[in-house]
Structure 1
Amino acid sequence: MTEIPMASTGRSGVLNAGILRRDAIRERLGATSLTFPGLILIALVLLVPVLWLFWLSAFDAAGELSWANYERMGRSIYIRTLTTTFRIAFIVTLCCALMGYPVAYLMSQSGRRVSLVILLCVLLPFWTSVLVRTYAWLVLLQRTGLINTWLQNWGIIDEPLALVHNELGTIIGMIHVMLPFMILPLYASMKAVDSSLMLAASNCGATPTQAFWQVYFPQTITGVSSGAGLIFVLCLGFFVTPVLLGGGRTYMWAMQIADNISLYGNWGAASALGVVLVIATAIVLLAVQFVLRRAGGTK
């Protein structure tokens, strides 16, 4: 038998490895080049407006480079508006999680026909404009609306309740708009849970409550985090519902931005508010990503 020199074998192995590595890099570059049109589109649609906001916020009303637009953030009106925005966003997110989890659980545990009917009811509001839905809540919640009229006719209340043109009406309307954004991620995560794990927990002596909290719920935390992050971010920039149902008494950050432009024509101040909102949104998204990584067991 002819023996193959070890040196030549090692040299050929190194050459083959180099060729494979070069082919892999070439394939990766080819696949990445296909994304260039999408990256350019994202840069034009997303990055350019954000950079333009940063640029405008750095100039005062006289057109001079200044931090005046950010210094005014310390005023009580801005602090109160920002606090109101985050408080309402947190309340709406919490209520959507508490209301959406049972609905998503029912959808995941029901048969195909029942789950499709529930899913249709969840998606039905998307077929109607947010403005129309908000006006519908205005009709329901106002002092002479259907809810107050029914309560008075049944003798439950003597005077109409203040259900609209305040923070309560704003929260009710926003919950109605945001609830599907919690149910859909939860339903997707619940359908991915292996039902045999609950049976295994029961066989090991766990009660239904223990099996739910220790086995089922931790596997759906990704859906809760995704829905909560999405709703919280959307609530930070919500405008239509607070304007109509808040009646000017519930003043949120987006309304502050609109007033700086429409009433005062101060694009620099409005841009500074937008920059603060973008930074707050980025922080929330990073927090959600951190929670998802911890829930997934990755670092």
Structure 2
Amino acid sequence: MSAQSAFLTETASPAGQDLNAQALRADARRESLRLLALLAPSLFLVCAIIIVPIGWLFWLSLFDETGALSAANYARFFEQASYIRTFITTFEVAFIVTGACVLTGYPLAYMLSQLPRRAASICLIFVILPFWTSVLVRTYAWLVILQRKGLINSWLIDLGVISQPLSLANNFSGVVIGMTHILLPFLVLPLYASMKTIDTDCLRAGMNLGAGPAATFRQIFFPLSVPGLASGVVIVFVLCLGFFVTPALMGGGKVVMWAMRMEQTTSLYSNWGAGAALGVVLLVVTLALLGLFQWLLGARATGVWSSR
């Protein structure tokens, strides 16, 4: 019997199969250890800048002003109406600003995706250009534009459109306008990137099958752009929840958001436990909403494919 036949006979036996299985398991363990070694720096970084601070925030929220372990910081949220009102205002501003960014950003991203590459690159510079200026400077610029004697009111009065200046700053409308302008690029950029990856052959195929421009956009282009739109919506919505500078300046003290309340609690009253509890509540609610949003997107995608 040749050496090859002996080897096949040995590996075909139960003892040989056990040896092969052990060798495969050992190779799998070595491969897992190599991957873990490669991921170790990233895991350490994530643990250092995300897990540890969040854990410290949870731990700090469990202590009251006297340093005793208590749930008073969370009970205060349900007992005081000002906390609930601020919480509702925060999410109201976030939803409105996100919706305004979608309504203005989607047509802009669509226009950029249809332009030639050179023209689109030039137009993208104007989308990115606001990032070169501080948020504080842009907010003060909007105060100059929207105040009662600002540019917009002056132009409208000179044109005879209005007789009295409109109240556009130091209120809820001013906060929405300022935040929409600042956060709009965060929706346009991922949406534009998603639209540029859409295969134009799919659009031509739809038109060849008899679909008009509106039907092609509604049934082909828009569903394919939803991942980029969802990414932009999540980015804008999360940034809105933690925004501080623009609401503090554009709101004129009339619009108090959750980040402003946390700053007041920690800096004015030196109550770090209550401030940490506010951060924990915002984090939990935000994660719940993002989970719901992801579930709705998954249900929608399942419904679309099942209908097809």
| Alignment partner, residue 138 of structure 1 | 143
1:201-240 correspondence runs (5 A): 201-240=206-245
**Contact kept? 1:167, 1:246, Cα under 8 Å:** yes
Pick the aligned partner of 1:198 from 188, 203, 206. 203
1:1-299 correspondence runs (5 A): 4=5, 7-11=9-13, 12=16, 15-16=19-20, 18-74=22-78, 75-291=80-296, 293=298
What letter is aligned with 1:143?
Answer: R
**Structure 2 unaligned spans of 5+:** none
C-alpha spacing 1:292/1:33, structure 2 compared with 1 (3 Å): farther
**Contact kept? 1:229, 1:284, Cα under 8 Å:** no
1:64 Cα deviation after fit: 1.2
1:230 Cα deviation after fit: 1.0
**Contact kept? 1:163, 1:169, Cα under 8 Å:** yes
What letter is aligned with 2:57?
Answer: L
Q: Hey, what's the Cα distance between the residues in 1 that align with 2:179 and 2:251?
A: 11
> When the two structures are superposed, what TM-score results if normalisation uses the length of structure 2?
0.90
Instruction: Name the count of aligned residue pairs.
Output: 298
CA RMSD of aligned residues (A): 2.1
**Contact kept? 1:96, 1:175, Cα under 8 Å:** yes
1:17 Cα deviation after fit: 5.2
**Structure 1 unaligned spans of 5+:** none
Q: Hey, what's the Cα distance between the residues in 1 that align with 2:225 and 2:299?
A: 13
Q: Hey, what's the Cα distance between the residues in 1 that align with 2:299 and 2:200?
A: 23
Please identify, of 284-293 and 213-222, the stretch whose mean Cα deviation from structure 2 is larger: 284-293
1:286 Cα deviation after fit: 2.5
Counterpart secondary structure, 2:5? coil
Q: Hey, what's the Cα distance between the residues in 1 that align with 2:5 and 2:233?
A: 64
